[in-house]
């Protein structure tokens, strides 16, 4: 990649700094979101209402230079409201015609707000477009523009009027990022910045074609076999049926992370390595993004749910117990 790592680090820091003009705090969250964007993955943001999740996505679209789309999920939202529908019209000769009116998914950066307030039928409508990057309707396939990224927000499951996302849809998201409640200093700064009538003017630092080019460059960062084996052992270690699974995994986990989780680990680690200025992926890069890449892919069983076991704690145990190549060689 020649001088690309240094150029990418500079751009990454510029993007983050520009976003911080509008977003107070959330340093780690902004890093994780940008890592997912440069990895070409979708992001699920979880937090209680009012934490600025929607504003974060709007700020991101402006700084990265992507055309935004938005879907506000409600229980009466229909799949056609997201994907689009066929409309009957007339041509210049008065004959009836059928034309496809595209929905909001045909944008570069789609915000799906409060996704778990939509019904399962509508949630399922996003599956094809998130994975295949196209919409099939009326026997025709319509490709969405590239780059195509979905950033969805959801409220915690305990809140009224929410529908849990099915495992198949959760797995479509590269990262699940928890949005924490701000601390005292952040709350004071929020009161200073956001209680007026003007918003900060943000610069657009890149665009879609540049983003695609960077994604392609970053995907070429090499991953040595021992590092790939380490990431694979982390994924296998999350499965309770494995003979050497941790006691906590065997007791509390119903299903472990999928191969798509391994893909997310590798893709995210490549970007993380570039941020650190490295020219190859290390186990530290894998460990750095393990929680956001795996937390929504490890499904607890009844005992784990009843005991309010935290998946993040299980991932931490995995990171402590699964030996790195250096530890194996020692």
Cα gap 89→190, rounded to integer Å: 49
Do the beta carbons of residue 199 and residue 24 sit within 8 Å? Answer: no
Per-residue pLDDT of the chain (330 residues; tens, 9 = 90+): 445 667 888 999 999 999 988 887 788 889 999 999 999 999 998 887 776 777 888 889 889 988 888 888 888 888 888 888 878 777 777 777 777 788 888 999 999 888 888 888 888 888 778 888 888 877 778 888 899 999 998 877 655 667 778 888 888 999 999 888 877 887 787 777 776 667 778 888 888 899 999 999 999 999 999 999 999 999 999 999 998 889 999 999 999 999 999 999 999 999 999 999 888 999 999 999 999 999 999 999 999 989 989 999 999 999 999 988 888 776
pLDDT at 1: 46
Cα gap 297→320, rounded to integer Å: 19
Of 64, 68, 69, 108, which is closest to residue 204 (Cα–Cα)?
A: 64
Q: Is 0.75 surpassed by the pTM of this model?
A: yes
Do the beta carbons of residue 1 and residue 221 sit within 8 Å? Answer: yes
At 159 the three-state DSSP class reads coil
**Domains contained in the chain, CATH given:** 1-75+105-193+205-220 (3.40.50.300), 221-330 (1.10.8.80)
Q: What is the dihedral of CA 193, 46, 162, 183, to 10 degrees?
A: -50
Helix (H) and strand (E) counts for the chain? 16, 11
């Amino acid at each position: 990649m020649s001088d690309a790592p240094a150029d990418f680090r500079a751009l990454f820091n510029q993007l983050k700094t520009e976003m911080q003009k509008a977003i107070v705090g959330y340093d780690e969250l902004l890093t994780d979101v940008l890592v997912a964007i440069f990895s070409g993955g979708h992001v699920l943001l979880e937090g209680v209402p009012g934490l600025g999740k929607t504003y974060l996505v709007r700020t991101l679209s402006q700084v990265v230079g992507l055309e935004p789309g938005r879907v506000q999920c409600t229980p009466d939202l229909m799949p056609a409201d997201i994907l689009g529908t066929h409309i009957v019209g007339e041509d210049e000769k008065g004959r009836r015609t059928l034309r496809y009116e595209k929905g909001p998914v045909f944008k570069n950066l789609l915000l799906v707000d409060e996704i778990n307030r939509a019904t399962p039928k509508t949630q399922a409508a996003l599956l094809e477009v998130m994975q295949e990057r196209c919409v099939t309707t009326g026997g025709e396939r319509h490709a969405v523009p590239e780059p195509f990224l979905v950033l969805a927000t959801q409220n915690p499951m305990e809140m009224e009027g929410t529908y849990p996302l099915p495992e198949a849809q959760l797995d479509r998201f590269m990262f699940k990022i928890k949005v924490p409640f701000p601390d005292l200093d952040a709350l004071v700064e929020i009161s200073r910045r956001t209680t007026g009538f003007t918003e900060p003017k943000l610069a657009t630092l890149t665009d879609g074609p540049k983003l695609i080019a960077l994604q392609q460059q970053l995907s070429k960062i090499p991953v040595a076999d021992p590092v790939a084996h380490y990431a694979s052992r982390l994924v296998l270690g999350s499965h309770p049926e494995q003979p050497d699974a941790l006691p906590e995994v065997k007791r509390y986990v119903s299903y472990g992370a999928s191969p798509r989780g391994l893909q997310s680990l590798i893709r995210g680690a490549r970007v993380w390595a570039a941020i650190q200025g490295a020219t190859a992926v290390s186990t530290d890069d894998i460990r750095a993004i393990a929680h956001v890449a795996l937390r929504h892919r490890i499904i607890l069983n009844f005992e784990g749910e009843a005991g309010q076991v935290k998946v993040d704690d299980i991932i931490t145990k995995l990171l402590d117990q699964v030996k790195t190549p250096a530890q194996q060689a020692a």
